[in-house]
């Protein structure tokens, strides 16, 4: 009877150790570490800024507010660059979006 009781104590102890994580039930990957979200720096966006950009991770992916903010900044900066290109070419901004570039016409031939 003492042997069964000792075996029961050992089994319960092992089950508790597995339940609280002292003994892994299955091999698990190392936890992912995230760096704190720093956002994009003020001013023009550089390749290095995009390369080092990291979003906070959540249970189902990335924080959408952070991703949305970066996409908005990129959209605004690309639009500003397109306006500047149109200005340098002497085109009106909306017409510049529709007009094919001379480079594009040369490539199609």
pLDDT values of the chain reduced to their tens digit, one per residue, 109 residues: 889 999 999 999 888 887 887 776 666 556 555 667 778 888 888 778 888 888 777 777 778 888 898 889 888 888 888 888 888 888 876 655 555 555 444 444 4
Q: What's the CA angle centered on 49, arms 48 and 52, to 5 degrees?
A: 80
pTM above 0.75, yes or no: no
Instruction: Report if residue 59 sits inside a domain.
Output: yes
CA-to-CA distance for 109 and 101, rounded, in angstroms? 14
- Which helix (H) or strand (E) segment is 58 a member of? strand 57-58
Instruction: Report if residue 94 sits inside a domain.
Output: yes
Is the CB of residue 32 less than 8 Å from the CB of residue 57? yes
Non-local (6+) Cβ contacts of 62 within 8 A are 55, 56
Domain range enclosing 90: 35-98
Domains held by the chain: number: 1
Instruction: Report if residue 14 sits inside a domain.
Output: no
CA-to-CA distance for 29 and 97, rounded, in angstroms? 49
Instruction: Report if residue 90 sits inside a domain.
Output: yes
CA-to-CA distance for 67 and 79, rounded, in angstroms? 18
């Amino acid at each position: 009877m003492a042997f069964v009781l000792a075996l029961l104590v050992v089994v319960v102890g092992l089950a508790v150790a597995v339940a609280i994580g002292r003994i892994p039930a299955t091999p698990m990957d190392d936890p992912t570490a995230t760096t704190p979200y720093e956002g994009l720096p003020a001013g023009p966006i550089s390749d290095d800024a995009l390369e080092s950009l990291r979003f906070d991770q959540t249970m189902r992916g990335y924080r959408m507010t952070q991703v949305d903010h970066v996409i908005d900044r990129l959209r605004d900066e690309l639009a500003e660059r397109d306006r500047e290109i149109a200005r340098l070419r002497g085109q009106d901004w909306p017409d510049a979006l529709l007009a094919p570039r001379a480079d594009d016409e040369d490539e199609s031939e």
